[in-house]
Amino acid sequence: MRARIYPLALGKILHHTISNINQEVAGLMIGKVTSDAVEVWDTVTGLQQSSPAYVKLEESVMALVAEVLMENRPDLYIVGWYHSHPGLNVFMSPIDVETQKVYQTMFPKAIALVIDPVQFSVSWKVSDLKIGVFRLDKNGKVVPVRFTLGLQRHKVLESTLIGLQMLDLIPQKHDNTDDGNVRVSTAKMLDIDHIVKFFSKTKKLLTSKKG
Ligand SMILES: [Zn+2]
């Protein structure tokens, strides 16, 4: 099995992780499974506990995203999660393995993307991008998943439009807590009406493009 990551999804992962370079941050990857690959079309993040070497995404984020997708885009689902290891390199820690087990229990083809954005954030050279995609085999052993960046024109457009509508899904702001951890909190309630409108607008646009 391979993974195909579309440019907007990768861009959002880079933006999220580079703008929080001193903390581990995490988010969900949204996409679909084709005959040959797990495709990552978009990402979304939300409430999480994070420190320089630990991050935990609140379960409510997954439930909320799953519900919005089921109601509006049943063809897309949560295909895994991403998180950063700033300056620590790319690997699956014992806690990451436990987290991945949960994802694979819910969705057997779930993948985990780990990124160390520090070197890239300085040089902005693609060759300095440290990214790994992993999953667990039948015995619970971590195996790397080969990944490519998707370049099919229609899918790039479609995933970009989906990504744009997801931007508003979970607005966030960062607060410093007493223990020095950064708490990423939801700044305002989710406006379902707004999202539904956006989804139907995009659907119309894509249908007319397909001709
Ligand atoms: Zn980790």
CA of 72 to the centre of ligand 1 (A): 31
Name every residue whose Cβ is closer than 8 Å to that of residue 209 and which is 6 or more positions away in sequence: 154, 157
pLDDT digits (tens, 9 = 90+) for 41-55: 999 988 888 888 788
Write the single-letter amino acid at 9: A
Topology adopted by domain 2-210: Cytidine Deaminase; domain 2 (3.40.140)
Q: What is the whole-number distance in angstroms between the Cα of residue 25 and the centre of ligand 1?
A: 9
Q: Which uninterrupted H or E stretch holds 82?
A: strand 77-84
Statement: residue 208 has pLDDT above 80:
no
Q: Which two tokens stand for residue 205?
A: 């646009």
Condensed to tens digits (0 to 9), the pLDDT of residues 57-112 reads 888 888 888 888 888 888 999 999 999 999 999 999 999 999 999 999 989 999 99
Q: In this model, does residue 147 exceed pLDDT 70?
A: yes
The CA 84 to ligand 1 mean position distance, Å, reads: 7
